[in-house]
Structure 1
Amino acid sequence: MNIAKEYQFLIIIGLFIFAYVLEALVNPLEINLLTPYSYLAPQYLAKYPFTTAIIAIKSIAIFWTPLFILSFIQKAYAAKASILLVLAGLFQLYSLQEIATGAHIVPLEWSLALSVAGILLLIPTGLFFLQHSFHTMRAKLHTPTVIEQKTTA
């Protein structure tokens, strides 16, 4: 299924707006976590289902945004994979630092969403690296050979 880029942009913006509207309906999350992944424990998921939905919506929007931006670049699979790998790492490091230090620069929901999006970005990262490998292999296998023709004069 191919979605036009204009519609993708509108969907991403819509997801961010939808998450903000939903976030206005609930109080900010005030729990102490050791890591961002601690939130995935069943006790938190069952206790905060609405907040979990908000985190999921934000994660999808954050995940989709760099993929949308990179869709404007043709080929360059290794560069795309490298960019996504760096972004995924930065998302993980930021959310870990935010939770470990207790600094609330952004709400906890955003830190958790960044963490989930960072994990999800590893999937297209691997796919882009594979695509780069296959594209390079195919280019080397299908290199046309030049046959010289002798001309008699």
Structure 2
Amino acid sequence: MSYTVDFDTVSTVGLESSPVAAALAGLRANEARYFRNKYDHVFTVEPASEATTVVAWVHRILSEEREIVISSRPLEATAFQVDNIRMAYVFYESGLSVNVMYTVDDPKKRAVGFKLSDGMEIPEELASRFKFARQRSKLAGTIRGSYFVLKNEY
């Protein structure tokens, strides 16, 4: 069952098993606010068990591009298109959020982003490969993020 993310009233619905559920909910709400303000898109997620195609696509990209396997359990996922950009998000129990930004018509503007919820450690599978920049968010506290550019077609 899908859940429409409300960024006015942040809720941990679907994220309760995460040790940083409140921070992960804030991170999810921060993404929802961004897409509502920039694209007038309503950000909805569904349990990862119901979004297996999205989770598999994101995991395939991570594996093929950088041989990354996320050890945490995926809790929720979503995929949608705004303008010419195909987006996919997977939110993990550890507090990690992985997103794929895949422009349909410009192969040079395709990337994978990682965001870490406030209070979580950098996952071992990412720690030695990426440097994380910090940003403040009213909804999510301190978000640490990093990314890499995609080289192949998916």
TM range (shorter): under 0.3
Larger Rg: 1
TM-score by length of 1: 0.25
User: Per residue, is there more helix in 1 or in 2?
Assistant: 1
User: Per residue, is there more strand in 1 or in 2?
Assistant: 2
Structure with more relative contact order (C-alpha pairs < 8 Å, separation 6 or more): 1
TM-score by length of 2: 0.25
